[in-house]
Structure formats: C-alpha cells, structure tokens
Amino acid sequence: MRSERSYVAGLYARLDAERERVKGEYGAALRGTGGTAMERDVEVRARARELKRLELVDNGLCFGRLDTLSGEHSYIGRIGLFDEEKDYEPALLDWRAPAARAFYVATAAHPENMRRRRQFHTRGRQVLDFTDEVLGRPGGAERGDAALLAAVSAPRGEGMRDIVATIQAEQDEIIRLDHPGVLVIEGGPGTGKTVVALHRVAYLLYTQRERMERHGVLVVGPNPSFLHHISRVLPSLGESDVVFTTTGGLVPGLRVTAEDTPEVSRAKGSLKILDVLAAAVADRQRLPERPLPIELGDLTLRIDAETAEWAREEARASGLPHNEARAVFTEIVTYVLTERAIGRMGQGWLSRGDRDAWENLRSELLKELAEDDTFAAAIDELWPILTPEAVLAPLYASAERLRAAGADPVLFRADGEAWTVSDVPLLDELVDLLGRDTAADRSAERAADRERRSEAEYAAGVMDLLVDRQDSMDDEDHLFATDLLYAEDLADRFIERDTRDLVERATSDRDWTYRHVVVDEAQELSAMDWRVLMRRCPNRSFTVVGDLAQRRSAAGATSWTEVLERYVPDRWVYRSLTVNYRTPAEIMAVAAALLADFAPGVQPPESVRACGVQPWSRQVSEAELPAAIAEFVREEAGRPGTSVVIGPPGVPDTVPAAETKGLEFDAVLVVEPERILADGPRGAAELYVALTRATQRLGVVHHGPLPRVLTGLGEIAPAGSQRA
C-alpha cells in the first residue's frame, strides 16, 4: 500500500508541474507579440484548453493498474502523464489509449496477456485501499464485479458520475467503436447508454482531437435538469469543448414560453410542415390589388399586377432564398419602370440607337428610384424583408393565413409569439428559406470598415506621438521597450478578433457546425428536429441514444430506420445495451410487468444486482396524500443520497415523469400512478420512466385503485418501519 500511495503521489507531483508549465506558456501567450494577431489568439486558446484539461482531472487521477504476465505493469488514469527522466515513458496511461483497453475487457477466461488488474479506491489525492483481481485462473469465466457493484450501489450525489474506472466490456466495445457515421445506442433504463455515449465523446476527442477540437461537440438532451445532471462527466474526463443544449436552445436568442398539445406537436413535427412553411413565405410575395403610383421625374408611373407577376416569377425562378431573391424582384420592377419612363421622356428625340444618352438617362432614373421612399415602400409591400418570427407568428395567429398555406387548423393560436419547443425546427427551417438581408449585411460591412479605418488611424496617431517623443528626448531620457510594445498592442486591439471560447462562439451562432453530435432521449425527437441537427453536423457524425419503449412525444420516432435512412443510408449502425446497472432486480420486476403490458415485444434489461428492499405501495385518501408525501420526504432527508417525488401534472410537491428522464435517485416515491397511466396515449411510458429512476428504494402512494399492472407491489400500512 505504501509503495502505491507513493507512486500516485508522484503522479500528482507531475500533474502539478505540468500545470505550472502550461500556466507559464499561457501567460507568455497572453503577453506575446510575435506572429500575427490571429496566430497569437490560436496560441492563447490552445494553452487555455490544455490548462483547463489539467485542472479538471484532479479527482481520481489514477484509478487502476495492470500487471502483465512478464511482470511489467502500467498505471491507468484519466489522462496520460510521462516520465521525462526515462525518455518520456508513460508514467500514467490515458484510459483511452489502446494499451489501456485490457483494463476493461480482460476476464479470467480471456486475460489479454494480463496477470492482474488492480483497482484503487481514492478520496481526493489519497489512495485509501485497492482490490486485486487475478486473471487467467482455471475455471474463471467473467470479470470480477466487486468494483462495479460498489460503484452502482453507492449513494447518488449531485450529477451523473463518470464510469471511467468501471467500464464493462460491452460498454468499452461501443465507446471505442470506429464508425464515421451514426451510431445508435439503444438500451432500457439503467443500462448506462448516456454515460457510454459521453465516454465515447471523450474517446473521439482523444483519438481525433485535431479534427474535432476546432468545431467541438454538441450534446442534445431532453430538458435542462438532464443536462445539469450529465454536465460534469466530460469535464471530469478532461474535455470541455462541448456544448450542452436542448432542442429548444438550437435557435440562439429564442425564448420558449409555452407548451404545445400532442396534436399540435405532431403537426409541427411532421415533414408535411415544410410545404406549409414554403407556402407561408410565398404568400408574402404579393401582387398589388391596384397599381401602385411612383413619381419619377415629372412622370407618374405605376407598378401594376402584370409587372409584379413577371418580377415575382423571375425572383422565384432564381432559386435564391426569399430575402436574397428580393434583389431580382427589384431589378425587374426597376427595369420596367425605367424603360417606361425613358420611352415617355425621350419621345420624339431619343432612340435606342443613341445608347450613351439612353444609359445616362437610365442612370439618373435609377439613382432617383433608389432614393425614392415611395418606391421603397412599394417594394416592401410586394416583397418584404422577412425574419423567421415575422413569418411564423402571423401565420399562427391567422386562421385565414393557415388555410392559405394548407396548414392543419390545430396550429392556430391567439398569441403567435408564444414560442414552444416545437417551433424551433420551424424557425430554423425558415432561416434557410428566407436567407439573409443582403442590403443590411452590406450596410453593416460598410459601417464596420469605417470603424476599422477610424480605429487604425487612431492607433497610428498614438504611435506617431511615441516616435515624436523619442526624437525630442535628451540623451539621459530613455524610451522603454514597453512603450513601443504598448503602441503595437494598441494597434492590434483594432484588428477585429473573436476571443470568446468555443462554447460561447458556438451557442451564439446559428450557422455553427459541429464535428460530432450526441442526441440523448432521441426517441422523443420529431422528423423536423432531425433536420435541424443534420444541418448542425454536415459530416453526419452522431451518437444517438434512446429507448423506443420510453417514447412519450406524439411526434417522436417509432423506428431508427425511419429516422436515419433519409439522411445516412448505409452509414449507421445499431448497438444495444442489455444489462441494467442502475435499477435493482426488485424494482425492475415491477417495471418489467408494466413494460410487458404496453410493449410486449420489448425485452427488459437484466439487473446486475439486488438491493434487498422490496418496493411498496400504500393507498391513502385524497386528504392524506400531502401527509404521505411529506412523510417520505422527511424519512429520506435523514438518509444519504438523493430522492424525488414523481406524480401526474397538477399534484403539488411532485415532479412530472418527463422531467426525470435520464436521471437517477436513491429513492423514488411515485404518486397516483393511475393518473399517470391515464394521461394520454403515452401514459404507460411515463409510468415506466417513473418506476425505473430508483437505485435503492421505490414506494407508490395511490388514491384510486392500484393499476392492474402494479398489483405485484406489496400493499403496506402507514408504518414507516416497513419501508426501511
């Protein structure tokens, strides 16, 4: 034990020394004056990432050791460290390195040329003890699971823990899978599919860092609580260039304030809505009901329906997005008006053969039209610059517009701007349908150019003053190098640079693309949600995590083939996880009975352990329900770990099952399961989620009769001792 503690202490000394080295390089990069401004920014960001990685791996830096048959041994940890005195031999192997794989896949029957696997138990930087597993013993079949059982049985804290020390062979195979397309990981409750997906991200960042780190990774989860729950896993593995969001966060700046009914979600999530959106945009490309008068010189010209229709046809035929096609529309209208004006103004003295005179007159008329407010207003009326919100909000709030666009009437709502999560893919789609306001972009670019020139002139003036100061100095005076460096830095300040980190830049940019995307609870995503995500990752590198049996959304997936064949035919693979590491056998037996009732073709995952505590149920009156909830909360407050009360909408002091998806708690109380079961067509899936959140203790309190599928629960009296 003493030698192991000494070795691990030496690893921490190396870690501290490495941190100091990188801190020094980071400081030097911040002060650096060599190279271009962009090169210095790249250096600063690289050193900042490296420093953050080193600061995040302190807890459990080294968690194991492998001994080979030849007597050599290797230490396994969260990152790799090297021994400078021994030609940079590995002092600590990164868990993702090929040489570390035997730590996860070696068994007694298949030892992978290993003699022993040692697992350290640590607190902070201190090694408390270790357990050894001798490999290759006659009669051995599988890897020992003492460390695994200790980890899955331990009380839960805040947030999901990494499994880097206890990855199982079936999980390791998925984590290290070399597949460039889409990997689907399906598994029932407690199979570890989420944490496996996150460890796969860490593995990909390790093996493909140069390709992935400039664009980062996107992780999409079902709700903010889930994202908070998993947010510590990747940082604990030394990875921080990861954006966590829900589907509601995929359009920067949008504030979701409402919730759709299942019928509305289904209508918005279907690909049929694409035709509705295209029709809604086309409906804003109008023809004048009566000719619009335009004063040009001494003439009054008119934009009539025939002219506008020709311009509209040409603009639509251009294939450009709406806002960009406005230039084509404007060009045709302008051409018609100027031709008519020239024909009338030059009648009797100007012929088309006099090209110079004709073009000079046209230039004057074009300038006049460009400055004419009435003409600008007419173009705005017929072909307005539109934003996604300006299309969708009026569409929702008008039954007439919905009919004109061929939309389902259920989409009508009085407040068009009461945005929901289901609106996000529609707004995102409209970004592409509408395109940019090119005139506004050009104006902004001109303003930015003027500002850059002004600031550069100011910086040059400061430097001229410094030179004048040097020329006027006496011999005893000195112009310090810092003065010139200040002027140089000052000039650099006026070069437009983006110094935000990757997460900040990515979350504020709708057009940002990622090298890899993880989608958790993927069965809940609609067909329109998938269009958004595919835009965010053009190379189609995904890890998709889900369980079709737990689908709640009316717009969600019913098969992975249906979802993926449209985008990645022949480029997706499927893997399943069948072992339940979270839910003890006693609780899973209750949930499995429910699963067999609403999804008879789905095999429940097999629990690796029993907890020795039987789930219980208790019938109470409506008046007794608050007291029963309070009793559970009071009892669990005195125990280690976490707990939650899950109930149907409208029951005080409970959390809806949908908000607990992907989460785990030591103890769970399910309130009024009969109401959860009756809440819509996916009520059974909701109840299944609620029953499978507990790692130790499950209780059910009910007012009405206990649902038939839960009759296996033992009914108990109010005495709390029976729930110990």
Binding residue numbers for ATP = 187-194
Q: Are 724 and 627 in contact (CB under 8 A)?
A: no
Task: Report the C-alpha gap between 653 and 186 in whole angstroms.
Answer: 32
Q: Are 192 and 520 in contact (CB under 8 A)?
A: no
Q: Which residues pair with 617 in a beta bridge?
A: 700, 715
Task: Report the C-alpha gap between 456 and 467 in whole angstroms.
Answer: 17
- Give the Å distances, CA to CA, from 234 to 171, 201, 360: 16, 8, 66
Phi, psi of 624 (to 5 degrees): -85, -10
3-state SS of 503-558? HHHHHCCCCCCCCEEEECCHHHCCHHHHHHHHHHCCCCCEEEEECHHHCCCCCCCC
- For 545, the 3-state DSSP assignment is strand
In 3D space, the residue among 690, 664, 667 whose CA is nearest the CA of residue 229 turns out to be 664
Task: Report the C-alpha gap between 330 and 192 in whole angstroms.
Answer: 58
Phi, psi of 107 (to 5 degrees): -130, 175
Q: Are 518 and 197 in contact (CB under 8 A)?
A: yes
**Pairing label, strands 114-123, 62-68:** antiparallel
Concatenating the DSSP letter of every residue in 43-56 gives HHHHHHHHHHHHHT
Task: Report the C-alpha gap between 461 and 467 in whole angstroms.
Answer: 10
List the structure tokens of 366. Answer: 């074009």
Buried b (16+ CB within 10 A) or exposed e, 544-555: bbbbbbbbbbbb
> What residues are designated binding site?
187-194
Q: Which residues pair with 293 in a beta bridge?
A: 302
Task: Report the C-alpha gap between 291 and 500 in whole angstroms.
Answer: 52
For the chain, the C-alpha Rg in angstroms (whole number) is: 33
- For 371, the 3-state DSSP assignment is coil
Q: Which residues pair with 667 in a beta bridge?
A: 643, 697
Residue 200 sits at the vertex; the CA angle it makes with 194 and 202, to the nearest 5 degrees, is 110
- Give the Å distances, CA to CA, from 292 to 338, 362, 375, 670: 15, 21, 9, 67
C-alpha dihedral (438, 441, 445, 446), degrees to nearest 10: 70
List the structure tokens of 99. Answer: 């040489």
Task: Report the C-alpha gap between 163 and 62 in whole angstroms.
Answer: 13
Contacts 24+ apart (CB under 8 A), 537-541: 537/218, 537/513, 538/513, 539/180, 539/515, 540/181, 540/182, 540/567, 540/568, 540/571, 541/180, 541/181, 541/182, 541/515, 541/516, 541/517
Concatenating the DSSP letter of every residue in 364-405 gives HHHHHHHT-HHHHHHHHHHS----HHHHHHHHHT-HHHHHHT
Q: Are 234 and 202 in contact (CB under 8 A)?
A: yes
